[in-house]
Chain A
Amino acid sequence: MKPASETRSRGEPATQRALVGSLRAFAQMLPILLGMLLLTSLILAWLPSSSLQALFGRSGALDVLLGATVGSVAMGHPLAGYILGGELLAGGVSLIAVTALIVSWVTVGVVQFPAEALLLGRRFALIRNLLCFFSAIAIAYLTVGVMRLLS
């Protein structure tokens, strides 16, 4: 068994290096994070979710596209998306459009795009968000299709 002092002398520099490295990476993330929080609060102040409801109710396919778009640019807790979705459903908007909104709300991040592009690469962020947008529409149709099959 190795003496404790030997273990400590080997372990400490690696731990210190890891601490410095993670502190540096964390500090680099902070302006992006603070910027995201400030941007989110500003958008929520300018565009409350209640004003989004007025957009729906024109046609089925358009509502689906609109649902995915609103979800993509929407901010805030996913619960807000469920509540808005529930209200839209009660107001006569189709379940497909509501599902597209709920899914894109949690998968697409137009407002988060600058942060994602800065940390994971612009190309990655662009392709991922576009894919997620179309996936939200596909999932919406599939969910309702499966629900119909099951019932």
Chain B
Amino acid sequence: MQGKRKLGGWLFLAGVILAHGATALVEPDLARQALASFVAMLGEVAPVLILVFVLMFLVERFLTPARTRAWLGRGSGLRGWLLAVAAGVISTGPVYTWYALLAELRDKGMRTALVAVVLYARAIKLPLLPLLAHYFGLRYMLVLSLLIAGFSIVNGLVMERLLRQPETE
């Protein structure tokens, strides 16, 4: 799995670079615009990457599989669900910057349902809630946020049920 993941990542990057190259041949202006947008996004993502790396190091250093199972494993109970929702809500930056950390936590014993909960609860963007209220109203913002929090748990439970059989990959 590790080797496949490593190779797959490089193949994916090579494919996207090829797509950029093809765009540069057909639409040079569009490719330039895309490249400028890439540089700007990289600048925005960089601080989040530092945070992700620090968290990965802390997880690797201090979170033993036994501790992970106790906090986020099957027996973690209500605390595990609440921790997962809170982690999703406070996490920042693009979602793909968090996949590696969640994969590492799952390898250490984090419940699959809670991985799904973290990813779903990310839909509640704390810093953007005032803007959501500005565009659609305070009541809408509150109802939508509560429903998303509730659905994150429902989705986690359904995911775990559907993924009970071991992955074939």
Residues of A within 8 A of B (CB): 14-15, 17-19, 21-22, 25-26, 28-42, 44-46, 78-79, 82-83, 85-86, 89, 95, 99, 102-103, 106-107, 109, 112, 114-116, 118-124, 127-128, 131-132, 135, 138-139, 142-143, 146-147, 150-151
Secondary structure of the B side of the interface?
Answer: helix
Of all chain B residues, the one with the shortest Cβ separation from A45 is B34
Docked-complex contact A103 and B148, CB < 8 angstroms = yes
Please indicate the chain A residues that have their CB under 8 angstroms from the CB of B13 in the complex. Answer: 31-32, 34-35, 38
Please indicate the chain B residues that have their CB under 8 angstroms from the CB of A147 in the complex. Answer: 139-140, 143
Please indicate the chain A residues that have their CB under 8 angstroms from the CB of B23 in the complex. Answer: 42, 45-46
Residues of B within 8 A of A (CB): 2, 5-6, 8-10, 12-13, 15-17, 19-20, 23, 30-31, 33-35, 37-38, 41-42, 45, 49, 52-53, 56-57, 59-61, 94-97, 99-100, 102-104, 106, 112, 115-116, 119-120, 122-123, 125, 128, 131-132, 135-136, 139-140, 143-144, 147-148, 151, 154-155, 158-159, 162-163, 167-169
Query: Given A116-B96, A116-B99, A122-B169: A139 and B148 within 8 A (CB)?
Result: yes
A94 to B169, CA, bound (A): 42
Please indicate the chain B residues that have their CB under 8 angstroms from the CB of A112 in the complex. Answer: 94-96
Query: Given A26-B56, A35-B9, A44-B37: A15 and B20 within 8 A (CB)?
Result: no
Please indicate the chain B residues that have their CB under 8 angstroms from the CB of A28 in the complex. Answer: 2, 5-6, 9, 100
Query: Given A18-B60, A21-B60, A26-B56: A33 and B49 within 8 A (CB)?
Result: yes
Of all chain B residues, the one with the shortest Cβ separation from A46 is B30
Query: Given A26-B53, A115-B99, A143-B143: A123 and B35 within 8 A (CB)?
Result: no
Please indicate the chain A residues that have their CB under 8 angstroms from the CB of B6 in the complex. Answer: 28
Docked-complex contact A29 and B9, CB < 8 angstroms = yes
Docked-complex contact A45 and B148, CB < 8 angstroms = no
Of all chain A residues, the one with the shortest Cβ separation from B36 is A41
* 18 intermolecular pairs with C-beta atoms under 8 Å apart: A14-B61, A22-B53, A29-B9, A37-B38, A37-B41, A46-B23, A78-B125, A82-B131, A103-B148, A109-B96, A112-B94, A118-B12, A119-B103, A124-B112, A132-B120, A138-B151, A142-B147, A150-B139
Docked-complex contact A22 and B57, CB < 8 angstroms = yes
Min CB–CB distance A127 → chain B (angstroms): 5
Min CB–CB distance A1 → chain B (angstroms): 22
Docked-complex contact A119 and B135, CB < 8 angstroms = no
Of all chain B residues, the one with the shortest Cβ separation from A21 is B60
